[in-house]
Amino acid sequence: MGFWSKMCMDCKKLLARVGEMRGRVGYGEFLDGLAGTGVPKEKIAVFLQADPDGKGSVQDQVTAEMTSELMRVMGLKGSQSPEGVKQIRKILDKESK
């Protein structure tokens, strides 16, 4: 059993909703969908930053998937990884300080 099997009910609810929406909605709709679960915004923010399996946070994974899909639709080669999104986010965080 891994980390995800030991999580709270709210996180299980959020994870299920992520699975339902992945690849089907834009980012705004994605966030609205998570809010629609009734889980408090503060807990959603913590959930989105979780990286229990070391593959990038939930937010980084979803952003990478959406970016890769956009690139594909635009006819661009390549894809974006969660690790790449994390690196970009860190660079932008440093520059904004």
Alpha helices by DSSP H, the chain: 9-21, 27-35, 41-49, 58-73, 82-95
pLDDT tens digits along 19-41: 999 888 888 899 999 999 999 99
**pTM, rounded to two decimals:** 0.78
Number of domains present in the structure of the chain = 2
Whether residues 69 and 40 share a domain: the answer is no
pLDDT per residue rounded down to tens, the chain (97 residues): 455 567 789 999 999 999 999 888 888 899 999 999 999 999 999 999 998 778 889 999 999 998 998 899 999 998 899 989 888 888 888 888 7
Whether residues 79 and 95 share a domain: the answer is yes
Is residue 1 assigned to a domain?
no
Whether residues 64 and 44 share a domain: the answer is no
Nearest to 23 by CA among 82, 56, 64: 64
